């Protein structure tokens, strides 16, 4: 069982997607994302299997929530630095997004 202390170890922040492109070398369909988390964390890369619900064009500018304190993960020829969060749905992964405009870098609390 996960404790509250385990949960608070996760650093979940708001980021804005700056770039999204097809990740051709991924085993499963995915995008390579560049996400801006503000001055403290900066721009980070992520691999996201969200191709069933989103096009690269509609992702650019979107606010997302991501775990920013996992260790980097090598996926094919790409290093994913953060885990963008979403829910598994019948039509594919749906991103978890703020319902209002908030500042990049804001922490989930």
Residue ranges per structural domain of the chain: 14-62+71-79+88-100
Distances (CA, A) of 7 to 4, 20, 24, 52, 95: 5, 29, 34, 29, 20
Residue by residue, pLDDT tens for the chain (109 residues) are 999 999 999 999 999 999 999 999 999 999 999 999 999 999 999 999 999 999 999 999 999 999 999 999 999 999 999 999 999 998 899 999 999 999 999 999 8
CATH fold, domain 14-62+71-79+88-100, is: OB fold (Dihydrolipoamide Acetyltransferase, E2P) (2.40.50)
State the Cα–Cα distance between residues 5 and 57, nearest whole angstrom. 38
pTM of full prediction above 0.85: yes
């Amino acid at each position: 069982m996960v404790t509250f202390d385990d949960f608070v170890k996760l650093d979940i922040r708001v980021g804005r997607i700056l770039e999204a492109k097809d990740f051709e070398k991924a085993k499963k369909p995915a995008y390579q994302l560049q996400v801006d988390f503000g001055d403290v964390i900066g721009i980070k890369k992520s691999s996201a299997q969200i191709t069933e619900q989103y096009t690269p064009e509609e992702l650019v500018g979107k606010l997302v929530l991501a775990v920013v304190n996992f260790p980097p993960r090598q996926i094919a020829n790409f290093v994913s630095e953060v885990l963008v969060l979403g829910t598994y749905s019948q039509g594919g992964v749906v991103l978890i997004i703020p319902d209002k405009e908030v500042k990049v870098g804001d922490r989930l609390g």
